[in-house]
Amino acid sequence: MKRNENFMQILMILIFNLGTFLTHGNPFNEATQTVIENNKLKVTVNEKTGSFTVLEKETNHLWKDDPWVNSAGLLTIKNKGKIEYLNISESKKVTVKKEGDHSIALSFINPVFTNGDVAKGVEIKTELRLVDSNAKLEVEVLSVNKGDYNLMELRYPTRAFSLETDVDKGAAVIPQKQGVICPSFISPMNGGSFCMWDDATYYRKTSGKLPLFNNGIGLTMPWWGTHTEKTAVVGIVDVSARPDMFYNINNNGQYLFNSKGEMSPYKRIAFLDPVWKINREKERKLITYEFIPKGTHVDMAKAYRKEAIKDGYFVSLKEKAKRDPNVEKLQGAIYMGVYGGYPHYVEMPGMAFTFKELQDIIKTTHDELGVDNAFFHAWGVFSNFVPNCWPINENLGGVKELKKAVDLTKKYGYLYSSYHAYSATLENDPEFNTELFAKDKEGKLKNTGSRWANIDQNKQLGLAKKSLHKEIAALELQADITDISFATFPDEDNTGLFNLAKYIDSLNLVNGTEHGQQQFIPYFDMFEGLTYLPNPNLVQFSHRAPLFNLVYHDAIAIFGKIQDPDNQISINGDFRVKSLRNILFGMGTTIFFSPYEFEGMKEMIQIANKVVSPVNRETFFAELTDHEYISDDFKLQRSKFSSGTEVIVNLGPVYQKTKEGEIIPAYGYKVTFSDGKVAEGSFKLTYN
């Protein structure tokens, strides 16, 4: 016995040392590994789990695999009516095979259900590839064999490139709407905001799934990333693919344990996963991770900008202005939405305006308020409900009086468009019927739950062609706004939408549309509302960041969202905060009002003309080159434009100092224009 004990001891020491030797410089202590590397990156795959780490060599940062359970991916199966999430690293068989110097093939065969049952015949093949000598790693799901199972989604890679909350001082970067960053560490903030921030990290609301390209909570661009204090990684989705993005922001995974009545044993982490739809077959399930030493959200956006240019989404405003010089009238323009109850109602009592009243509003804006540039958008000039935007309403003054309004805008150098929509027929329209609705094969109506998207996209061009040319001729229009059709990029054949976009573009007017998506940038000059929703879901644990504008500022003019215009108080701020954000992000002011409110808009319009418009005018054609948070509480921010303009704003109620010692007052700003001139000021709340 004694001898055996000694033998075992010596054996244990040997094994221990062997283990130490093998795992030197890598994070897996028990499994053997497969490695690929180039000058920039070293990718190490755990042969047991198939999960991988990436060493980014310049900053020597090791991006770990899933810190909770070393999972490579999570497979969603609907099994007997119940949805289960299978950790593919626990499959009966995991194979890891190096193919050449820069590629590793993986397979996950026969994954296992929670109760131990095996999903026989299910096989997932993936590949990791270094791209030449670049700091780029391609991660691709090559194939999924479904066996006899109802496979739905694959989160792959999962919990990779994560940040440990309050240890890694970085952020998760998410292009939801205009964009947000979610810091991975505690920072000073208002106590009430902090209560919500810290609590949210243990609650379900800091995790969820966001789709691409919708007008609700969706991502506007197919990329996301994480960064620490010293290095960043951004994942860019292949142009053919359409995964959702799963987010877990500083959450400790308690949501995985609530049903068991246990506390999560995991640390709080932040990560972003692609969620591939297994049944979406005509796509490459490919995400390319680019590693950027010293990178921030700005570098991530700029990495994607290159991709966007390559994919043809980027057409510059300069080019657009060459074709139609009227685009220049958007520079510094205040977007004035005059709402007469339309498109919801025709001649709505208490809200409709006559064309004489519209003329007065335009005149007052110029003569009394001294507004230099404006884009008037009149909601409610037709006798019919949408999608029949014609004829011009005689009861309100007819073509003659409306043309006078349009002529006034021209005289002042302003732009004008009536409100148009071709995607909706409304339940309260006396002429309502479902003839134009999109229908499925069985003749069922497709979009009964969304009144603004119920018309078949292939019928929309026809609706535009019925009347738009008549209106242009009658009023001699220079601009057009067509609402809502382009607020989403549906996951289907979008020929109908492109046909409508191309037709509108062919009219060579200044073209605007609601919200917008990157696919439609080549056809439009302005997007109304690619900003933030009045009620977003990430707001308690994020800071707004101009991600969309860092990519597209010089390709499309952005104004506020009509459901949350700059004159309204909302979760996104009041006029003070929104105006400051406008100059910081390089956006134009949006004032959206019902006629009876005009008197109350005047003060804000004048302030916008003095504070926001000059910055928007100078930066209009320029690239937004930089954006940074320069105070600990993220309220003080600085942006730079290729025009040479530099903007500092303080979005908070307390004065702040820059690193250079400059004081920016509460709700204050400092703009340095390209000629060196400085505009400084702040918003004050007083009473009398």
**Touching a copy of itself, residues 641-660 (CB under 8 A):** 652-655
CA distance 681 to 664: 9
Q: How far apart are the first and last CA of the chain?
A: 95
Nearer to a copy of itself, 150 or 594 (CB): 594
Element holding 288 (H helix, E strand): strand 285-293
Choice from 564, 584, 620, 634 touching a copy of itself (CB under 8 A):
564
Is residue 260 part of the contact set for a copy of itself (CB under 8 A)?
Answer: yes
Choice from 13, 18, 569, 663 touching a copy of itself (CB under 8 A):
569
Contact 564, 570 (CB under 8 A): yes
Least separation in angstroms between residue 536's CB and a copy of itself is 10
Least separation in angstroms between residue 563's CB and a copy of itself is 4
Is residue 600 part of the contact set for a copy of itself (CB under 8 A)?
Answer: yes
Chain positions 266 to 305 lying near a copy of itself, rule: CB under 8 A, are none
Nearer to a copy of itself, 1 or 678 (CB): 678
Least separation in angstroms between residue 119's CB and a copy of itself is 21
In the sheet that holds 52-56, the strands lie side by side as: 33-37, 41-46, 52-56, 61-63
Within 8 A by CB and 6+ apart from 154, the residues are 73, 74, 75, 76, 88, 124, 141, 144, 275, 276, 278, 285
Choice from 100, 116, 191, 430 touching a copy of itself (CB under 8 A):
191
Choice from 178, 254, 619, 643 touching a copy of itself (CB under 8 A):
254
Is residue 167 part of the contact set for a copy of itself (CB under 8 A)?
Answer: no
Rounded to the nearest 10°, the torsion over CA 252, 44, 172, 246 is -70
Nearer to a copy of itself, 522 or 588 (CB): 588
Choice from 117, 476, 603, 662 touching a copy of itself (CB under 8 A):
603
Tell me: cis bond preceding 343? Omega within 30 of 0 counts. Answer: yes
Choice from 337, 387, 516, 546 touching a copy of itself (CB under 8 A):
337
Neighbour-count burial of 110, counting CB atoms closer than 10 A to its CB (0-12 exposed, 13-18 middle, 19+ buried): middle
C-alpha of 369 from chain center: 35
C-alpha of 304 from chain center: 13
Binding span for a copy of itself by CB under 8 A among 45-53, 222-230, 365-373, 590-598: 590-598
Choice from 305, 561, 617, 640 touching a copy of itself (CB under 8 A):
561
Least separation in angstroms between residue 430's CB and a copy of itself is 14
Among 237, 238, 243, which residue's Cα sits nearest to residue 279? Answer: 243
The secondary structure of residue 496, as a DSSP letter, is H
Least separation in angstroms between residue 582's CB and a copy of itself is 13
Nearer to a copy of itself, 319 or 632 (CB): 632
3-state secondary structure of 341: coil
Rounded to the nearest 10°, the torsion over CA 418, 421, 424, 426 is 0
Element holding 272 (H helix, E strand): strand 269-277
Chain positions 350 to 409 lying near a copy of itself, rule: CB under 8 A, are 350-351, 379
Nearer to a copy of itself, 36 or 558 (CB): 558
Choice from 32, 195, 240, 395 touching a copy of itself (CB under 8 A):
195
The secondary structure of residue 277, as a DSSP letter, is E
Binding span for a copy of itself by CB under 8 A among 50-58, 85-93, 117-125, 441-449: 441-449
- Maximum separation of any 2 CA atoms in the chain, in Å: 110
Binding span for a copy of itself by CB under 8 A among 292-300, 304-312, 397-405, 605-613: 605-613
Is residue 265 part of the contact set for a copy of itself (CB under 8 A)?
Answer: no
Neighbour-count burial of 485, counting CB atoms closer than 10 A to its CB (0-12 exposed, 13-18 middle, 19+ buried): buried
Name the token pair of 218. 């969706």
Is residue 533 part of the contact set for a copy of itself (CB under 8 A)?
Answer: no
Is residue 541 part of the contact set for a copy of itself (CB under 8 A)?
Answer: no
Choice from 37, 372, 456, 574 touching a copy of itself (CB under 8 A):
574
Nearer to a copy of itself, 120 or 204 (CB): 204
Is residue 684 part of the contact set for a copy of itself (CB under 8 A)?
Answer: yes
Nearer to a copy of itself, 72 or 580 (CB): 580
Within 8 A by CB and 6+ apart from 480, the residues are 417, 420, 468, 472, 504, 507, 509, 510, 511, 512
Is residue 189 part of the contact set for a copy of itself (CB under 8 A)?
Answer: yes
3-class SS string, 170-228:
CEEEECECCCEEEECCCCCCCHHHHHHHHHHCCCHHHEEEECECCCCCCECCCEEEEEC
Is residue 571 part of the contact set for a copy of itself (CB under 8 A)?
Answer: yes
Chain positions 32 to 71 lying near a copy of itself, rule: CB under 8 A, are none
Nearer to a copy of itself, 102 or 576 (CB): 576
Is residue 262 part of the contact set for a copy of itself (CB under 8 A)?
Answer: yes
Chain positions 407 to 436 lying near a copy of itself, rule: CB under 8 A, are 427, 434
Nearer to a copy of itself, 105 or 666 (CB): 666
Angle at 651 between CA 646 and CA 653, to 5 degrees: 135
Is residue 464 part of the contact set for a copy of itself (CB under 8 A)?
Answer: no
Chain positions 339 to 358 lying near a copy of itself, rule: CB under 8 A, are 339, 341, 344-345, 348, 350-351
Choice from 607, 630, 642, 646 touching a copy of itself (CB under 8 A):
607
CA distance 47 to 60: 23
Is residue 190 part of the contact set for a copy of itself (CB under 8 A)?
Answer: yes
3-state secondary structure of 398: helix
Q: How many residues does this entry show for the chain?
A: 688
The secondary structure of residue 595, as a DSSP letter, is G
Is residue 257 part of the contact set for a copy of itself (CB under 8 A)?
Answer: yes
